[in-house]
Amino acid sequence: MVNRQPLIAGNWKLNGSRSSVVALAKAVAAGVTSPVVEVLICPTSVHLADVLGVVGNSPVHLGAQNCSDAISGAFTGEVSAEMLVEFGCEYVILGHSERRAMFHEDSALVAAKCLTVQKAGLTPILCVGETLEQREAGQVEEVIAGQLDALLDAGGVDSFRQLVVAYEPVWAIGTGKTASPEEAQAVHALIRERISSHDAAIGEALRVLYGGSVKADNAASLFSQADIDGGLIGGAALDAASFLAICEAAASTVGSSAA
């Protein structure tokens, strides 16, 4: 059995000022003590340099929230993978439901972005998830499969080697409604099975995070599920104490998964 190191990723979304993100990054870096959990923070792109100055020599990893699928050229407003690497990023969140819904990113574009950032050495965090309407229509498996298959079609199963999947039910993001540990586990198992059906070793090693109203008080029950390998945290990542408590919850579940 592969030991998957838990990853707790804070998605700071469109929040903060230069001074507040530096303060938040300092508090997170000072509070990360356990080496068993990988901790990642993802500020806005304009805050990367300031945050890198804080976490550059700490165990905290740095990531971005989006990236262009283009390498360079006439793409006004875009940021490239190589630029993110220069600013210390190791990860980039791609295909978040907010980008799919508000910025019309489809699964083919998200897949292209994944392949582009991997070539630059970054690890994509590929977000997938269904809306409430899709869940109520019994389409969860079909929706998730379609989102994964776009990358399987574009890059093959090898594109899941250097990649993290984040399952974020859209109805649970920022709403206070969390999928129950059993509901989340069922979808995580589907995700792993889909990749494992192409390559068992890649599927077994793939880290699958849960996102959607994760808080300090529900984190341990989610992370103790067999196929939940950490979390993509939104609102609670903006408060250092809450985020660190979620990291501690992940550390407490290492070695005690329901597998």
Ligand X SMILES: O=C[C@H](O)COP(=O)(O)O
Instruction: Specify binding-site residues.
Output: 11-13, 174, 213, 234-235
Please provide the DSSP assignment of 219-240 as one string.
HHHHHTSTT--EEEESGGGGSH
130 interacts with ligand X by CB under 6 A: no
203 interacts with ligand X by CB under 6 A: no
Binding mask 135-174 for ligand X (x = CB under 6 A): ---------------------------------x----xx
Q: How many Cα neighbours within 13 Å face the side chain of 151?
A: 32
Measured from the CB of residue 168, what is the shortest distance to ligand X in angstroms? 5
63 interacts with ligand X by CB under 6 A: no
Measured from the CB of residue 202, what is the shortest distance to ligand X in angstroms? 24
Residue located via tokens 């068992």 = 200
Q: Which of residues 95-124 bind ligand X (CB under 6 A)?
A: 96
Q: Cβ atoms within 10 A of the Cβ of 140, count?
A: 19
For residue 80 the two structure tokens come to: 């490239």
Q: By the 8 A CB rule, do 82 and 68 touch?
A: no
216 interacts with ligand X by CB under 6 A: no
Catalytic residue among 38, 105, 168, 248: 168
Q: CA end-to-end span of the chain, whole Å? A: 10
Where does this chain bind ligand X (CB under 6 A)? 11, 96, 168, 173-174, 211-214, 232-236
